[in-house]
């Protein structure tokens, strides 16, 4: 089962390497990881996507909560949340396929951010399934390069007034 975990951590050097190293040393694979400063500059939010059953999830939570720089860990998988991923990809382009590429960019509400004589760079954000579908539609043109941020997520509504895991 896929779990989305959000960890609020102190914004200090070494937190990311400490947490990712701890998870790796215990054999847990991180499918996606994004980290960034929050509305409070001394705190960062780490969003992990991990795969495993409930016992694996519980072990990961327990291990994370033992780390001094971790303020709170929430499994938001069972809650109503919004998630996004950002992707940049470069595809081969020519005068023959330019119209088809532009049409797909418009349909997926993506954005062309760079044009070169033989390639076009596209920016797209959204849920994982949307990005996966866009990748499949771009494959026939020839994907030259692709980079993704990893998922970020927040619980819908006012999380401070709701129950937190």
Q: Taking the domains of the chain in order of start, what are their residue ranges?
A: 2-75, 82-152
Phi, psi of 102 (to 5 degrees): -60, -40
Phi-psi region of 14 (alpha: psi -120 to 50; beta: other; left: phi over 0): left
What is the spatial distance between Cα 95 and Cα 42, in angstroms, rounded to a whole number? 50
Report the pLDDT value the prediction gives residue 66, as an integer from 0 to 100: 87
Report the pLDDT value the prediction gives residue 146, as an integer from 0 to 100: 97
Report the pLDDT value the prediction gives residue 165, as an integer from 0 to 100: 43
Kindly state the DSSP code that residue 67 receives in the 8-state scheme: S
Tokens of residue 89, six digits:
């990809």
Report the pLDDT value the prediction gives residue 159, as an integer from 0 to 100: 53
Mean pLDDT by 10 residues, the chain (165 residues): 91 89 86 91 92 86 88 91 96 95 98 97 96 98 96 82 44
Report the pLDDT value the prediction gives residue 160, as an integer from 0 to 100: 54
* Domain 82-152 part of CATH 3.30.70.1150: yes
Distances (CA, A) of 42 to 9, 18, 23, 24, 61: 9, 17, 23, 26, 22
* pLDDT one-digit tens code per residue, 31-42: 899 999 999 989
Tokens of residue 78, six digits:
């069972």
Q: Look up the pTM and report it.
A: 0.80
Report the pLDDT value the prediction gives residue 158, as an integer from 0 to 100: 65
Report the pLDDT value the prediction gives residue 162, as an integer from 0 to 100: 45
What is the spatial distance between Cα 152 and Cα 93, in angstroms, rounded to a whole number? 31
Report the pLDDT value the prediction gives residue 161, as an integer from 0 to 100: 42
Could you name the CATH architecture of 2-75?
A: 2-Layer Sandwich (3.30)
């Amino acid at each position: 089962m896929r779990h989305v975990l959000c960890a609020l951590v102190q914004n200090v050097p070494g937190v990311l390497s400490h947490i990712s190293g701890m998870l790796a040393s215990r054999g847990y694979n991180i499918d996606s990881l994004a980290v960034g400063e929050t509305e409070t500059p001394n705190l960062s939010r780490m969003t992990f996507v991990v795969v495993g059953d409930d016992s694996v999830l519980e072990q990961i939570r327990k291990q994370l909560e033992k780390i001094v720089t971790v303020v709170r860990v929430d499994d938001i998988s069972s809650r109503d949340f919004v998630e996004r991923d950002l992707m940049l990809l470069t595809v081969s382009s020519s005068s023959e396929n330019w119209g088809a590429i532009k049409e797909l960019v418009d349909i997926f509400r993506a954005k062309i951010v760079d044009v070169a004589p033989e390639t076009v760079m596209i920016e797209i954000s959204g849920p994982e399934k949307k990005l996966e579908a866009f990748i499949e539609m771009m494959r026939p043109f020839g994907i030259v390069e692709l980079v993704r941020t990893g998922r970020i997520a927040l619980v819908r509504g006012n999380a401070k007034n709701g129950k937190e895991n």
